[in-house]
Amino acid sequence: MLRKKVAILAVCAFAFGIGLATSAVAACNNTCRLGCERAHDTCTGSGCELAYIQCYRRCGCVLP
């Protein structure tokens, strides 16, 4: 009986994690994200990485 409860809880936690991850990805504006990536590819000065991360977050993306 305990194994069955643990298995059910594990499946629920997995489903919750997948749902959370997909909602984070769905919130990201793809057109905006692509603009950030183009700007990062053409950037040659210092601070490119920080500018990229800030741009990415402005688009609503969670993970750069």
| Tokens at 38, concatenated | 């183009």
Name which of 18-22, 31-35, 37-41 the model is least confident about: 18-22
In a domain, 64, yes or no: no
- Mean pLDDT of all residues in the chain? 79
Contacts (Cβ under 8 Å, ≥6 apart) of 39: 51, 52, 55
Name the residue range of residue 40's domain.
2-58
| Tokens at 29, concatenated | 């504006």
Mean pLDDT, rounded, for 26-42:
85
Question: Quick one: pLDDT at residue 38?
Answer: 93
| Number of structural domains in the chain | 1
At 22, which amino acid appears?
T
In a domain, 48, yes or no: yes
Entry pTM: 0.53
Closest CA to 37 of 64, 5, 4: 64
In a domain, 39, yes or no: yes
